[in-house]
Structure 1
Amino acid sequence: MSAIDHLLHANEQYAATFPGPRPLRPKLRLAVISCMDSRLDLFGALGLDIGDAHLMRNAGGLPTDDILRSLALSQRALGTREVVLIHHTQCGMQDFDDETFREKLAAESGETPPWDVPGFHDLHATMRASLARVRGCGWIPHRDDVRGFIFDIATARLEEVT
């Protein structure tokens, strides 16, 4: 069975006990920005339930232009007010060589990507820069309660970065 077939089978089981639709607006008025890493169970680690928060994920959990676009919609159209950023230990973006990656993609495809994949070296410094980017974004009206955390992959504990 392929991974996609497995998903379809799991969906059948989920749909059989589905309690029905939840409200459009997140119950906790919270947006969470985190890495796409498959080891991060945001529902379990943060005690979230379906419908509690908007979850926005990408490589590194960085507040890219696309994440800021989604966050602006989340706040302006769907009522979120608080923002949590989560980076993590053992991230694949740590020490990632964006320039080499983009050159390889261009050489193999004949097309230079219009985006970058910024790696980082210092996890805490990157979190501080991420916090500053969200707090400084004029598209985001609610920037007073923006907090950042490092998730430890080995212990599942969160460390706040100020």
Structure 2
Amino acid sequence: MSASTDATPPPGPFDDVFGANAAYIEEFSLGGLKPLAARGLALVTCMDSRIEPLDMLGLKPGDAKILRNAGARVTDDTLRTLVLAVYLLGVERVLVLPHTRCKMASVENDDVVHDLIMSEYGVDTRSLEFHTDNDQLGALKHDLERIRHHPLLPKGLPVAGAIYDVDSGKVTPAGL
């Protein structure tokens, strides 16, 4: 006897999110939204799931380009993306927004993370740079300067930094 081709597949690890999409498309209203940042903002923030970037800044879909990575660091890839966003996607200003209680700001350097992953999981991650720094304001200042002095970004591009408090929701400008 042959297996039926219309049999229901076994449950998978992504069924919850694909299933939720069915409800999402019932109320989907973003069709036709332009790919430009309507409010001219690029936001560099952390991938931390406690951060709701649109809500915390009074934005709506289409207002900003959101760039997320571990630690909200301005990496080479972040700079590449900002160049594209400025010249092709309507970005006129950049806000870099790390947050309190960030794992990437709680360790002294990348070696600590490499050692932890090796001891806990047996995986050698030394080929990667994690850009950890327990001086969060110092790292933010460094990252702002990387943007301000990047040769492919416009001189005078407004760039600011702030810290998001994951316990209160408050965004505090860093004044750097």
Normalised to the residue count of structure 1, the TM-score between the two structures is 0.88
Contact map agreement 1:102 1:116 (CA 8 A) in 2: no
Read off the aligned partner of 2:140 and give its amino acid letter.
M
| Count of matched residue positions in the alignment of Structure 1 and Structure 2 | 160
Alignment equivalent of 1:12, drawn from 15, 22, 43:
22
Q: Which has the larger radius of gyration?
A: 2
Other-structure match for 1:139: 152
How far apart, in 1, do the equivalents of 2:110 and 2:124 lie?
A: 17
Contact map agreement 1:82 1:142 (CA 8 A) in 2: no
Measured on the aligned residues, the alpha-carbon RMSD in Å equals: 2.2
Read off the aligned partner of 1:141 and give its amino acid letter.
P
Moved over 4 A (4+): 107-112
Structure 1 residue 8, shift from structure 2 partner? 1.1
Other-structure match for 1:99: 111
How far apart, in 2, do the equivalents of 1:110 and 1:41 lie?
A: 32
Matches within 5 A, 1:107-126: 108=122, 112-113=126-127, 115-126=128-139
Normalised to the residue count of structure 2, the TM-score between the two structures is 0.82
Q: Does 1:66 align with 2:77?
A: yes
Task: Provide structure 1 residue ranges, at least 5 long, that are not aligned to the other structure.
Answer: none
Read off the aligned partner of 1:4 and give its amino acid letter.
F
Task: Provide structure 2 residue ranges, at least 5 long, that are not aligned to the other structure.
Answer: 1-10
How far apart, in 2, do the equivalents of 1:30 and 1:51 lie?
A: 10
Superimposed CA distance per residue, residues 21-77 of structure 1 (whole angstroms, 9 cap, x where no aligned partner): 300111111110001111011111111111111000001000000100111100111
Q: Does 1:24 align with 2:40?
A: no
Other-structure match for 1:81: 92
Give the secondary-structure state (helix, strand or coil) at the position aligned to 1:159.
strand
Contact map agreement 2:114 2:125 (CA 8 A) in 1: no
Superimposed CA distance per residue, residues 70-125 of structure 1 (whole angstroms, 9 cap, x where no aligned partner): 111001111211101101110010133412434656x9457752x31121122222
Bigger CA drift: 10-19 or 68-77? Answer: 10-19
Contact map agreement 2:144 2:159 (CA 8 A) in 1: yes
Contact map agreement 2:114 2:124 (CA 8 A) in 1: no
Contact map agreement 1:89 1:151 (CA 8 A) in 2: yes
How far apart, in 2, do the equivalents of 1:34 and 1:132 lie?
A: 16
Q: Does 1:43 align with 2:58?
A: no
Alignment equivalent of 1:55, drawn from 66, 69, 90:
66
Residue 74 and residue 154 in structure 1: after superposition, are their counterparts in 2 closer, same or farther (change >3 A)? same
